[in-house]
Amino acid sequence: MIIRRATLEDSDLIATFLLLAMEDVVYQFIGENDYPKAKGFLSYFAARERNQYSYQNCWVAEIEGKVVAAANLYDGARLVELRMPIIQYLKTQFNKDFNPEDETQPGEYYIDTLGVNPNHQGKGIGSKMLQFLIEEYFNKQHQTLGLLVDEDNPAAKNLYLKLGLRPVGKKVLVGKPMEHLQFRG
């Protein structure tokens, strides 16, 4: 498996894999439970620069030349700047006045979303991507890594704890209670 920075050409797959992990959140964003619209929303932003879901903020995992997973992360200090194009798009395209809670803050690189192709789940790809991100951002760049985990997802939380992330608080994102975890070493 190769983990590499995403490129513009990866945008459609990035959207597919991110949507696996955040489908219900995107439905909240667009105000509809419509998979094609949700996928279109993420595809639009994955293919554009300077926004929170841009390919510029993603890493992908490849097996035998095929992208099988994507992780989206960015500097928490840039959340407002990176979210602004999304808020504007939702207002113009979906007539939705949207201003979600801040899921991150300055002082951490935030792992927004990580999604793995269903045909490759259960093979450790998500764990390997998280280990790679820990190596890349914490060990090499000395950055704190953070993420939110749904309180209703103990399996994911256990994986994160096993990898060394620790609880640092609670947050609410689009009405869902979440636990905030960080990797600080």
Q: What are the average pLDDT values for consecutive 10-residue runs of the chain, which has 185 residues?
A: 98 98 93 96 98 98 98 98 96 90 96 97 96 97 96 92 96 92 89
Predicted confidence at residue 99, as pLDDT, reads: 84
| Spatial distance between the Cα atoms of 20 and 39, rounded to a whole number of angstroms | 10
pLDDT of residue 132: 98
* Total number of domains constituting the chain: 1
pLDDT of 116? 97
CA–CA dist 102, 153 (Å, integer) = 20
Which CATH number characterizes residue 113's domain?
Answer: 3.40.630.30
The reported pLDDT for the residue numbered 160 is 96
- In this prediction, residue 100 carries a pLDDT of 87
Which domain range does residue 64 map to?
Answer: 2-183
Q: What is the pLDDT of residue 185?
A: 67
Query: Could you give the C-alpha distances from 43 to 16, 50, 51, 98, in angstroms and in order?
Result: 8, 14, 12, 19
Smallest CA-to-CA distance from 75 within 99, 94, 57 is with 57
pLDDT of residue 175: 86
> One-letter amino acid identity for 106?
P
Q: What was the pLDDT predicted at 88?
A: 96
